[in-house]
Amino acid sequence: MLRYAALALTACLSLASNARAVPAFADQTGLHCTKCHVGAFGPQLTVAGRAFKLGGYTLRTNPNAVPVAAMAIASFLDTQKDQSAPPAKNFATNDNVALDQLSIFLAGGAGNHFGGFSQFTYDGVGKSVGWDNLDLRAVNTTKLFGADTTYGLSLNNNPGVQDVWATLPAWGFPFTTSKLAPAPAGATLLDGTFAQNVIGLTAYVWWDNSLYAEAGAYRSLSRGTLRFLGVGPQGTDLIDGVAPYVRIAYQKDVGPYDIQVGSFALLGDVFPGRDESAVTTDRLHDFGADASYQFNGDKNLVTANARFIHEGQGLHASRLLGLSTNGSNSLNEATFDASYYWDNAIGFTISHFRTWGSRDNLLYASNRTFKPDSDGFIFQIDGTPWGKEGAPFGNWVNLRVGLQYTVYTRFDGASRNFDGAGTNASDNNTVRLFLWLAF
Residue 21 pLDDT > 80: no
Its sign, for the CA torsion 150, 152, 156, 158, is: positive
| Phi, psi at 260, each rounded to 5° | -135, 140
Q: Summarize pLDDT for 374-411 with one digit per residue, the tens.
A: 999 999 999 998 867 766 766 678 899 999 999 999 99
Higher pLDDT, 322 or 23: 322
Q: Summarize pLDDT for 70-80 with one digit per residue, the tens.
A: 999 999 999 99
DSSP 427: G
Q: Summarize pLDDT for 261-278 with one digit per residue, the tens.
A: 999 999 999 999 999 999
Burial 191-208 (b: 16+ CB within 10 A, else e): bebbbbbbbbebebbbee
Q: What is the pLDDT of residue 283?
A: 98
Q: What is the pLDDT of residue 8?
A: 33
What is the mean pLDDT of the segment spanning 159-187? Answer: 95
Distance of CA 294 to the CA centre of its chain: 19
Max CA distance (Å), the chain: 65
Q: Which residues contact 63 (CB under 8 A, 6 or more apart)?
A: none
Instruction: Kindly state whether residue 340 falls inside one of the protein's structural domains.
Output: yes
Q: What is the pLDDT of residue 171?
A: 94
What is the mean pLDDT of the segment spanning 309-338? Answer: 97
Instruction: Kindly state whether residue 372 falls inside one of the protein's structural domains.
Output: yes
Burial 260-286 (b: 16+ CB within 10 A, else e): bbbebbbbbbbbbbbeeebebbbbbbb
Select from 230, 220, 202 the least CA-distant residue to 127: 230
Beta strand 238-239 with 346-357 is unpaired
Instruction: Quote the number of domains for the chain.
Output: 1
- Give the range of the structural domain holding residue 224, as residue numbers without chain letter: 72-101+133-438
Instruction: Kindly state whether residue 223 falls inside one of the protein's structural domains.
Output: yes
Confidence band of 9 (pLDDT split at 50, 70, 90): very low
Residue 100 near residue 128 (C-beta atoms within 8 A)? no
- Entry pTM: 0.90
Higher pLDDT, 38 or 33: 38
Q: Which residues contact 408 (CB under 8 A, 6 or more apart)?
A: 374, 375, 376, 425, 426, 428, 429
Instruction: Kindly state whether residue 46 falls inside one of the protein's structural domains.
Output: no
What is the mean pLDDT of the segment spanning 37-57? Answer: 89
Residue 200 pLDDT > 70: yes
Residue 116 near residue 135 (C-beta atoms within 8 A)? yes
Q: What is the pLDDT of residue 429?
A: 98
Instruction: Kindly state whether residue 336 falls inside one of the protein's structural domains.
Output: yes
Instruction: Kindly state whether residue 290 falls inside one of the protein's structural domains.
Output: yes
Confidence band of 4 (pLDDT split at 50, 70, 90): very low
Q: What is the pLDDT of residue 10?
A: 34
Q: What is the pLDDT of residue 87?
A: 95
Here the CATH number for the domain that contains residue 238 is 2.40.160
Q: Which residues contact 254 (CB under 8 A, 6 or more apart)?
A: none
Instruction: Kindly state whether residue 413 falls inside one of the protein's structural domains.
Output: yes
Instruction: Kindly state whether residue 21 falls inside one of the protein's structural domains.
Output: no
